[in-house]
Amino acid sequence: MKKTTMALGATAALVLVGCASGPMMSKGSGDEFMSMMKTSFSARGIAKMDRIEQDLGQAACSSDKDPSPAVAKRVEAEALASIQWPAGGQYFGDWKAGEKLAQGGRGMTWTDKSTDPKDNGGNCYNCHQLSKEEISYGTIGPSLYDYGKIRGVKDVTAKSSAEVVQYTWGKLWNSKAYAACSNMPRFGHKGLLNQDQIRDLMSLLLDPRSPVNQ
Amino acid sequence: MRSRPPAAALTAVLALALAGTGAAMAQTKSTAEGIAEYRQMLADGNPAELYEAKGEELWKKPRGPKNASLEKCDLGKGPGVVKGAFVELPRYFADTGRVQDLESRLMTCMQTLQGIDPAEVMKAGFRQGEKGNVEAMATWVAGMSRGMRFNLPQNHPEEKRFYELGKKAFFFRGGTHDFSCASCHGEDGKRIRLQDLPDLTKNPGDGIGFAAWPAYRVGNGQMWGMQHRLNDCYRQQRFPYPGYTSDVTIALSSYMGVNAKGAESIAPAIKR
């Protein structure tokens, strides 16, 4: 059993390398698997079949093994290059709206009617602790309680805050820029949230007056 | 069976009971302990019993164009053997040449023995029509293996192939949010909000994960089989729609079922 698993792991690694340097896998067990996926799923509502067409990062992070450092680096570099920085250099919005967004988990399922970011939640509390008051939080991601405080943000416009401000925007826009196989959705990159919504989340995380930093 | 209040009324009472204990619970014990206690409280009043009774009746009643019962149905341990069948599914069936889970096997028996077209099941919504009948029978069949331990066969090449396909599906990232099954069920001790998430890449323990479904869900007052459970997982993963008893669902069940080897089945369970 152990042997089989290892052999399979090796095959998967080969397939991955193949992916990294060319088009999607085209033969062997990967092909059989994808044909199963295509016959098993069908489009419904807003959930079309392109949702099981993987990009580089999704394919690289689809086994119980991590991708090779070279592949991970490429995923991260492509993700970093894809980040759209905020229009007008305006990084911040309203932390109260951010808190509301953080609570919401809706959007983008086949029972949802539209793909407009305005209909989507940020899903933050599903995986993270944020404010002290909300005890119903998940633990898939790290606690973000005191996120700005721990990072020494006393004034979001201060020069000393610039680095963490930029990183946080980038992480929200495309989490894979900083960790190829991050569990976190790519909120900006995949059109799950718009720039204004991300600004609100930025305020929730970094504004010293936000409940996250109390 | 004792007489019971209607499911809806029961649900309302349960909801009240939950709301009442919520605040105290948070302070004095973990959510998991609270839920376990609450399950215990309900253990001798699981509305799943209603579906088990309906399922048993459907199994024994002559139905369909051939006016036959399912009492000669082979669920893997020989015609008519129900006890112990559930904890060995999905498995390979020579007559269909396919690996089948409980629901798809029931559909095969309905077709061959009773002449009921599988399309009747496929076209119905969950809990409706012939699909509702399959789910009720699955609930009864599962209950007949209550207390037994999972032991899926892995001798046939197709069973091994489905396990490997299921493993691939489990780790397959896709959709708008880049989620795979493993995003939530690949590590021990994680939660979404307050909901504990079992690690399904290994045996998560007696009566947890694969060993708990079909289950009655108190929150919405619905009886869900494993097919319905997987369907809603994929909805929340923001994937396209998985077909009822499609290969990916059976492959995933094979993967989770083999991983659950030795786990005691408590199905049909009760969930919040």
Residues from chain B contacting residue A116 (CB–CB below 8 Å): none
Cβ-defined contact of B190 to A51 (cutoff 8 Å): no
* pLDDT tens digits, A118-159: 999 999 999 999 999 999 999 999 999 999 999 999 999 999
DSSP code, position B63: B
Residues from chain A contacting residue B186 (CB–CB below 8 Å): 64
Measured between CA atoms, how close is A131 to chain B, in angstroms?
Answer: 13
| Closest residue of chain B to A53, computed from CA coordinates | B174
ipTM score for this prediction: 0.87
Cβ-defined contact of A8 to B164 (cutoff 8 Å): yes
**3-class secondary structure, B98:** strand
* CATH architecture, range A87-213: Orthogonal Bundle (1.10)
Strands B215-217 and B269-271: parallel
Residues from chain B contacting residue A140 (CB–CB below 8 Å): 183-184, 190-192, 197
Task: Confirm whether B46-143 and B157-271 share one CATH topology.
Answer: yes
Give domain limits for chain A: 2-73, 87-213
Per the CB < 8 A criterion, the answer to whether B99 and B163 are in contact is no
Which tokens belong to B230? Answer: 């997987």
Count of other CB atoms within 10 angstroms of residue A134: 17
Q: Is the pTM higher than 0.90?
A: no
Q: What own/partner pairs with CB < 8 Å and gap ≥ 24 does B182-190 have?
A: B182/A64, B183/A140, B183/A183, B183/B237, B184/A140, B185/B209, B186/A64, B189/A139, B190/A138, B190/A139, B190/A140
| Closest residue of chain A to B242, computed from CA coordinates | A41
Burial class of residue B23 in the structure, from the number of CB atoms within 10 Å of its CB (0-12 exposed, 13-18 middle, 19+ buried) = exposed
Give domain limits for chain B: 1-45, 46-143, 157-271
B102-109 and B226-236 helices, crossing angle to 10°: 130
pLDDT, averaged per 10 consecutive residues of chain B (272 residues), comes to: 43 42 48 71 80 98 98 98 98 98 98 98 97 98 98 98 98 98 97 96 97 94 96 98 98 98 97 84
What CATH class does B157-271 carry? mainly alpha
Mean pLDDT (chain A) is 90
- Per CB distance under 8 Å, which residues of B are interface residues toward A? 26, 164-165, 167-169, 171-180, 182-184, 186, 189-195, 197, 201, 235-236, 238-243, 246-249, 251
Tell whether the model's pLDDT for residue A25 goes beyond 70. Answer: no
Classify domain B46-143 by CATH number: 1.10.760.10
Cβ-defined contact of B240 to A47 (cutoff 8 Å): yes
**3-class secondary structure, B151:** coil
* DSSP annotation string for A131-175: SSS------SS---TTHHHHTT-S-TTSGGGHHHHHHHHHHHH-G
